[in-house]
Structure formats: structure tokens, C-alpha cells
């Protein structure tokens, strides 16, 4: 991190998902510039993603800001609000992790405790990270509990079985076609067809019905 007597080189990052509904990237930039002047930061770049959702991780301006951080061109990345940078906690923590790796701090103007150039700011992010991990674990627990309840009710879990008429399958195999050829002709995968054939092999075969020919074909 930079020392107290060194002018911080800062990149500003702003984002709006749409220019309608009162959203204006200029409002974010104006406040960021004003705070930069108050704190004596030297603005070296302004990165703006317009018309891009916060859920979109592949934003060109954000990528440029992270590349500037990687190359050592900046000391701080300043944003107006955390949701301008990322819409979910996991993505936010990924970005912060990259910035920390590059020795670059993050400052969010509207989130007063988020300033990773300070001990308090880093502590706030640690709390945010812990909350994210707790939320993820709670989701896992809910999923596991839901699956267990479904099993107890006798609900069959897993992918639904592909509807497949086995009569043309048997006919093509009896004519000497391979499983691969048969599956391609019927528009299913070879794996699906092999599973259905294996399942039929485990079922009692009606008297007089012979095993289809060609089941061992590739």
C-alpha cells in the first residue's frame, strides 16, 4: 500500500445498466472526481461500463481497470457504490482478491467502511466474506434438506428419462445397425440408448421375445 506522503494514483470505475430511468454515469463520476480532489488523489484513468449489467462479469471497462491494477499503473480503484462493481458478494470478493494480489486498494464512496487501504476497511471486507460463506453454506443445507424430504416422499430425483419408443430401436438393431447408428437415426445420444437397453436387459423378457441383434455394436 502507498505511504501517507505519496500521492495515490487512482482509477475511477463507474457503471450503469441503462441510460434511462434516471441512471446517469456522470453523477457517479462527478462525485468520484470531487472526492479524489479532496483526498489529493491523482486520477490516472476513468473506466466506464454503460449499458452493462452488474451480473455480467465480462465487462470491458472493468477488465481494463483490473489490467491497469495488474500492471502496477494504479494504487487505488475508486467506485461510487459496491453494486456498481459487482451484484453478488462472490464476484465482489473475487475482484477484491485480484486487487489485493496486485497491491491495489478499493474505495467505495457510498459504503463508508469499504476502504481496503485501511485496517478498518479490510476488516469490513472480512466480515462481508464471512457472511457470504455463511449464506452459501445455508443454501447448501436447504438444498440437502429439500432433497432428503423429497426422497422420504418417494420422489424420484435426477434427470427425467428421455421418452423413447423402443420398437424402432429393436427393429434397427435386428437389421444389423449399430447402437451409434440407431441412436443417431432416432435423435438420441448413444449413452441414452445404451442405458435404456441395459434397463430392458434387467427386466423380465416376455416369452418368445428374443434379444435384439446388434446391441453390442459401437
- Strands of the chain (E only): list them: 9-16, 42-50, 76-79, 105-108
Check if 17 is active-site.
yes
Q: How far apart are CA 46 and CA 88, in angstroms?
A: 23
Choice among 17, 117, 129, 178 that is catalytic: 17
The answer to whether 104 touches 76, Cβ cutoff 8 Å, is: yes
34, 102, 100: which is closest to 73 by C-alpha? 102
Q: Distance between CA 144 and CA 147 in Å, rounded?
A: 5
The residues carrying an active-site annotation are 17
Amino acid at each position: 500500500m502507498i505511504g501517507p506522503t505519496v500521492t495515490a494514483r487512482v482509477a475511477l470505475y463507474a457503471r450503469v445498466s441503462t441510460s434511462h430511468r434516471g441512471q446517469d454515469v456522470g453523477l457517479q463520476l462527478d462525485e468520484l472526481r470531487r472526492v479524489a480532489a479532496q483526498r489529493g488523489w491523482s486520477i490516472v484513468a476513468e473506466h466506464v461500463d454503460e449499458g452493462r449489467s452488474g451480473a455480467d462479469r465480462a465487462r470491458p471497462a472493468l477488465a481494463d481497470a483490473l489490467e491497469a491494477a495488474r500492471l502496477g499503473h494504479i494504487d487505488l480503484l475508486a467506485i461510487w457504490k459496491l453494486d456498481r462493481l459487482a451484484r453478488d458478494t462472490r464476484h465482489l470478493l473475487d475482484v477484491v482478491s485480484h486487487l489485493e494480489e496486485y497491491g491495489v486498494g478499493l474505495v467505495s464512496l457510498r459504503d463508508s467502511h469499504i476502504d481496503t487501504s485501511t485496517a478498518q476497511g479490510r476488516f469490513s471486507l472480512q466480515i462481508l466474506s464471512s457472511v457470504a460463506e455463511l449464506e452459501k453454506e445455508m443454501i447448501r443445507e436447504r438444498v440437502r434438506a429439500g432433497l432428503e424430504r423429497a426422497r422420504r416422499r418417494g420422489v424420484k430425483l435426477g434427470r427425467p428419462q428421455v421418452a423413447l419408443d423402443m420398437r424402432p430401436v429393436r427393429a434397427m438393431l435386428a437389421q444389423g445397425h449399430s447402437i451409434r447408428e440407431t441412436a443417431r437415426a432416432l435423435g438420441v445420444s448413444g449413452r441414452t440408448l445404451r442405458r435404456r437397453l441395459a434397463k430392458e436387459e434387467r427386466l423380465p423378457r416376455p416369452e418368445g421375445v428374443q434379444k435384439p441383434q446388434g446391441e453390442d455394436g459401437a
